[in-house]
């Protein structure tokens, strides 16, 4: 566990995954499970619009 964060390895990985999603334009991922930002990032990497990628990963489309 990184010093001072108080987060376990899994929580740190999920936080990093959400941050990478945010950096890629996938906004509002704080309430997502681990699968959703990972799926959305894959869709964005394949050229999909970040908003559409998020909606599809969450099952909204």
Report domain extents, the chain: 9-57
Residues 49 and 4: their CA atoms lie apart, in Å, by 36
Segment 27-43 mean pLDDT? 86
pLDDT at res. 1: 45
pTM of the model: 0.74
pLDDT at res. 5: 58
Segment 16-34 mean pLDDT? 86
pLDDT at res. 53: 93
Segment 12-39 mean pLDDT? 87
Q: Which helix (H) or strand (E) holds 17?
A: helix 9-23
């Amino acid at each position: 566990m990184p010093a001072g964060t108080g987060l376990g390895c899994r929580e740190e990985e999920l936080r990093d995954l959400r941050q990478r999603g945010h950096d890629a334009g996938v906004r509002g991922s704080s309430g997502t499970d681990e699968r959703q930002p990972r799926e959305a990032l894959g869709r964005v990497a394949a050229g999909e619009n970040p908003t559409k990628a998020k909606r599809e990963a969450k099952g909204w489309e």
